[in-house]
Amino acid sequence: MTRLLLCCLLSLITPAFAQEPDSAAPSGDAPSAPAAEERKFQPPELKYQTGDIVLPNKVATLHLEESYRYLDPKETEKLLVAWGNPPDSDTLGAVVPVGVDPFGDNGWAVIVTYLDDGHVDDVDAKKIDYDDLLKDMKEGTHDANKERTDAGYAPVELLGWAEPPHYDDLSRKLYWAQELKFGTADVHTLNYDVRVLGREGVLSMNAVAGMPQLDGIERDMKDLLRIASFNEGYRYEDYKHGTDRLAAYGLGALVAGGIAAKAGLFAKLGVMLLAFKKFIIMGVVALGALLRKLFGGGKAAAGPGG
């Protein structure tokens, strides 16, 4: 299917500092400064957990130790709704570093989901030309801008890798980061992704922030590579050939992001507004030509509503 698939990171997450969609010009009834102050944002109280966290689907565990805190799916929804997203998100929770206020000016969180499309074979790990893949992703981002601008959002430009893709074939973990620019925003957006391959799915962890936060987030996300692991029976090496499900895509598609369009939170939301942070999260890859290139002409998976 050649339509634009809006998806993440939960999949490809491409957030940005950006303005909300254009709306009608303000009327003469605009609220006064005191009235606006009365409606000043009040963040909800969040209940954090620490230690070893078995994720709700029981397939993986986060060994958080003393450096990170976990929000269960209910608490994560409170966070996302407070950021301006619709309710009824579908996540496995979120991780917030100790000392980070997710509602502060430099606040951020790592959203955790699970892509249950089947076992992703890493046989292509050493064959992927990530520079070539980046060119395709840039083209897809550019092609998606008409739909974005028609919907009232700023155009987005994928500038390049903030961290080139790396795959550890011992731990079966893949990570990368992208730098994006939305509209005329002075501050570029950082989208940092971690994928952990398992027996019949992929654990997905995605961080949203601004490029000035790269150093700190890069450090924390690489820590998450160490503390996240599949439980016995769900590990990559537990895969049973001929019996377990095999995904129709490989590592290249995980980086491109499109195939995971039906994965939980971001398939449901499509476009997410984090109003408090002035972020926009949406899939920006136009998948037609890219998927044909990745899968050699195979039929692309349908996206939401497809």
Q: Say how many CA atoms lie within 13 Å of 147 toward its Cβ.
A: 16
Q: Is the pLDDT of residue 14 over 60?
A: no
Q: CA angle 98-214-191, nearest 5°?
A: 95
Q: Is the pLDDT of residue 59 over 90?
A: yes
**CA–CA separation, 193 and 187 (whole Å):** 19
Q: Per-residue confidence at 306, pLDDT binned at 50, 70, 90?
A: very low
pLDDT tens readout for residues 206-265: 887 889 989 988 888 888 888 899 999 999 999 999 999 999 888 988 888 643 332 223
Least confident piece of the model among 9-18, 52-61, 63-72:
9-18
What is residue 277's three-state secondary structure?
A: helix
Q: Per-residue confidence at 39, pLDDT binned at 50, 70, 90?
A: low
The pTM of this model reads 0.73
Let me know: does 159 contact 218? Beta carbons within 8 Å.
Answer: no
Q: What's the pLDDT score for residue 25?
A: 39
pLDDT tens readout for residues 138-158: 888 888 888 878 877 778 899
Q: What's the pLDDT score for residue 43?
A: 86
Q: Is the pLDDT of residue 12 over 70?
A: no
CA distances from 276 to 79, 103, 106, 284 (A): 11, 8, 12, 22
Q: Across the chain, what does the average pLDDT equal?
A: 74
Q: CA angle 111-117-121, nearest 5°?
A: 100
Q: What's the pLDDT score for residue 219?
A: 87
